[in-house]
Amino acid sequence: VRNITIKDVAKTAGVSTATISRVLNENGYVSEDVRQHVLQTVKELNYLPNAVARSLKQERTRGIGMIIPDMTNPYFMKVIRTLQRQLLEEKYHLLYMETESNSSKEAEALQFLLSMRVEGIILAGAGGNQDLLKRITNSGTPVVLLDRNIPGFSADLVMEDNHTPVQEAMDYLIRKYGNEIAVINGPLNISTAKERSEAVLDTIKHSHAIIKEEWICEGDFSRDSGRSACHQIMASSNPPLGVFSANNEMTFGFYLGLKDLNIPLENIEVVSFGDLDFSPLIQAKLAVVQQKPESIGEASAQLMLERLNNVKMQVQKRIFIPELVH
Amino acid sequence: VRNITIKDVAKTAGVSTATISRVLNENGYVSEDVRQHVLQTVKELNYLPNAVARSLKQERTRGIGMIIPDMTNPYFMKVIRTLQRQLLEEKYHLLYMETESNSSKEAEALQFLLSMRVEGIILAGAGGNQDLLKRITNSGTPVVLLDRNIPGFSADLVMEDNHTPVQEAMDYLIRKYGNEIAVINGPLNISTAKERSEAVLDTIKHSHAIIKEEWICEGDFSRDSGRSACHQIMASSNPPLGVFSANNEMTFGFYLGLKDLNIPLENIEVVSFGDLDFSPLIQAKLAVVQQKPESIGEASAQLMLERLNNVKMQVQKRIFIPELVH
DNA sequence: TTGTAAGCGTTATCAA
DNA sequence: TTGATAACGCTTACAA
């Protein structure tokens, strides 16, 4: 079943395709009579312009690519929701790709988006594709980095300050529990995790605390890795009294781990970078670094829109400082 | 900065565009020498075929539209994750649109997807667009309904049985607490919510229980509405002992409501259609109808793929029966 | 105010 | 085994 084309409309309306186009795009002169008649026929035939053809001709797709590690992480979904709404208002649409923080999947995703001729890419990156990314920006497709910086690749960036709140968090834990604390880092190849980890180490160093090596774990930002870390940390006969977890999902996993081990959640105080939606419902000593996914989403959308309108704009960095909340 | 086209490649490789196309699509004869040389130039020039042009020429986009009410509901995200992976394996990609269960946003989303010339649409629908949907299927774009049926519109359907587990749930509550139970329904214009509500009423009728009118609420499947329902239900001086909640988010909201009111979560037994990821972590009497988002996702992907390969296939229904777990 | 026609980047038919 | 070229559906100079 063939789709209705602009030619069909032109034929039944008894005018040229140019006129149809002018009416629908509201550019160029066209008499009111003809306009009404065209609109009428368009409705009768249920004509929907072919966006593929339009994109080819105009050499613009109004598509923006979005690459994230994990679609089920509520943090990213909140980011995306506002992001998408903002872009939709300006008639842009999003194409999502998921990478599971895997560099080669990220490369595939990037190539796919380029072949789709998206006009910009918003990337919460796994890293490892610096060369490709440079080619992309050089060839004129703007990239906005979201949540994660990529060393060796300079681009617009929207992220959260990972130092300040982590230092505050660690200060708090050390002051309260001395050496009896543990740390669950994220995957250190990701900037966000690395920065948080550096802030952790800095604070430990300055405070002259001495933390057991086996109490400093490296997870991968996943729920499962937080759970394993918990098992490792709490295995000890006298376990730590406080723990810093570098993201929401690992914190979630840590609590699941406590449950596995039949340890009451409030036995250990947790400071988590990133909130858990259900934190009011659990009986736990939990302080969180409160992220602002909506702000991140909005800022990245704005930044992308600005960049699309002004290719030559200087590189922009938007850094949000999340607060530690008890 | 203009993109490299197939003409550029043809020119520098010293062959015709047809040959380039034949090499890249691996169809038609082409000598090994030429093949190697073309591949080489493609790599050197970093040529990426323009998917827009290809789609226009081939009259197929390999795009599948996906319409869901809420991107932040973990249930849908789990559905989508498997769905997307399955489709990606067959070289299809997904375009998401969010409707907030709003019919006119749904209509817009449908039109947008059609203008993008997606090859199929997977719809968790708000209803109210039957005529449009009929036009869509009649014109040859298959629609697979997901999670929610749409009365007056016949199409492939993947959903969960909403009667059996709800009857079981209500039976359980009534047997245990008699008339001292409350119900939080979803928005009754949505099939899923309506069916669950019908099953609730059926069971009440058969058991001759008498439930206070103000203890039967209608929410909108959102967290906030569950919270309000809680306030309404628990306002009473002697509140009910059990409650059935028609979806995960409202259950979440209900618990937040209890917290608002300073009522211990375990004071009231909840049976929820749809699990909460964090249910092991809270101190509550919670039984859940365990949905299988991954199965739903997989089944819809499979069904869509079958339909794309066999337009004339009979209408298919895939109904999963979720289990009540204590 | 309207129409004609070129061209966007591919693929596929046909001829060589 | 390869190349020339029409066509996909639209927009937009340019002409009328």
- Map chain B to HEC letters: CCCCCHHHHHHHHCCCHHHHHHHHHCCCCCCHHHHHHHHHHHHHHCCCCCHHHHHHHHCCCCEEEEEECCCCCHHHHHHHHHHHHHHHHCCCEEEEEECCCCHHHHHHHHHHHHHCCCCEEEECCCCCCHHHHHHHHHCCCCEEEECCCCCCCCCEEEEECCCHHHHHHHHHHHHHHCCCEEEEECCCCCHHHHHHHHHHHHHHHHHCCCCCHHHEEECCCCHHHHHHHHHHHHCCCCCCCEEEECCHHHHHHHHHHHHHCCCCHHHCEEEEECCCCCHHHCCCEEEEEECCHHHHHHHHHHHHHHHHHCCCCCCCEEEECCEEEC
Q: Is the dihedral of CA B74, B78, B83, B84 positive or negative?
A: positive
* Set of chain A residues whose Cβ sits within 8 Å of the Cβ of B254: none
User: Helix (H, G, I), strand (E, B), or coil: what is residue A272?
Assistant: strand
Mode of pairing for the β-strands spanning B323-325 and A286-290:
unpaired
- 10 Å Cβ neighbour count for B85? 14
- List pLDDT tens digits, range A149-197: 999 999 999 999 999 999 999 999 999 999 999 999 999 999 999 999 9
Give pLDDT, residue A264.
Answer: 97
The answer to whether some atom of strand D lies closer than 7 Å to the beta carbon of B278 is: no
On whether the CB atoms of residues B287 and B169 are closer than 8 A, the answer is yes
Q: Does B55 touch chain A (CB under 8 A)?
A: yes
Q: Give chain A's count of helices (H) and strands (E).
A: 12, 12
Question: Any chain A CB within 8 A of the CB of B313?
Answer: no
- Contact at 8 Å (CB) between B77 and B71? yes
DSSP annotation of B231 reads H
Sequence-distant (≥ 6) Cβ neighbours of residue A54 within 8 angstroms = none
From the centroid of its chain, how far is CA B109? Answer: 15
Nearest of A201, A250, A200 to residue A225 by alpha carbon:
A250
The pLDDT value recorded for residue B311 is 86
The answer to whether the beta carbons of residues A86 and A302 sit under 8 Å apart is: yes
Q: What pLDDT score was predicted for residue A311?
A: 85
Question: Which burial class, exposed, middle or buried, applies to B314 when counting CB atoms under 10 A from its CB (0-12, 13-18, 19+)?
Answer: exposed
| Closest residue by Cα to residue B234 from B286, B280, B188, B270 | B270
Rg (CA), chain B: 26
Q: Which site among B92, B281, B285 would you substitute to test the A interface, given the most A Cβ atoms closer than 10 Å to its Cβ?
A: B281
Percent of chain A with pLDDT over 70: 100
Please say whether the beta carbons of B301 and B82 come within 8 A. yes
DSSP strand E in A7-88: where? Answer: 63-68
B141: which DSSP letter? -
Residue contact B84–A94, C-beta within 8 A: no
pTM, entire model: 0.96
Whether B278 and A252 lie within 8 Å, measured CB to CB = yes
**Predicted local distance difference test score (pLDDT) of residue A67:** 98
pLDDT tens-digit series, residues B189-198: 999 999 999 9
pLDDT in tens, A27-60: 989 999 999 999 999 999 999 999 999 999 999 9
Structure tokens at A277: 């939606």
Q: Which residue is nearest to nucleotide D11 (CA to C1')?
A: A57
What pLDDT was estimated at residue B143? Answer: 98
Contacts with B, A 60-99, CB within 8 Å: 61, 71-72, 74, 77-78, 80-81, 84, 93-96, 98
Q: What percent of chain A has pLDDT over 90?
A: 96
pLDDT tens, position by position, A106-119 = 999 999 999 999 99
Could you tell me which of B142, B133, B129, B135 has the C-alpha nearest to residue B101? B129
Q: What is the pLDDT of residue B1?
A: 81
Tokens linked to A10:
């032109």
Question: Cα angle vertex A277, ends A271, A283, to 5°?
Answer: 60
Taking only residues 186 to 225 of chain A, the set having a beta carbon closer than 8 angstroms to any beta carbon of chain B reads: none
Cα B85–Cα B91–Cα B93 angle in degrees, nearest 5: 65
Residue A122 · residue A304 · CB < 8 Å:
yes
Q: Is residue A245 within a helix (H) or strand (E), and if so which, with residue range?
A: strand A242-245
Q: If pLDDT is split at 50, 70 and 90, which confidence band does A236 have? A: confident
State the average pLDDT over residues A10-24: 97
How does pLDDT run along chain B (326 residues), one tens digit per residue?
Answer: 899 999 999 999 999 999 999 999 999 899 999 999 999 999 999 999 999 999 999 999 999 999 999 989 999 999 999 999 999 999 999 999 999 999 999 999 999 999 999 999 999 999 999 999 999 999 999 999 999 999 999 999 999 999 999 999 999 999 999 999 999 999 999 999 999 999 999 999 999 999 999 999 999 999 999 999 999 999 888 999 999 999 999 999 999 999 999 999 999 999 999 999 999 999 999 999 999 999 999 999 999 999 999 889 999 999 999 999 99
E strand or H helix that includes residue B113: helix B103-115
Spatial contact of B177 and B269, defined as CB atoms under 8 Å apart: yes
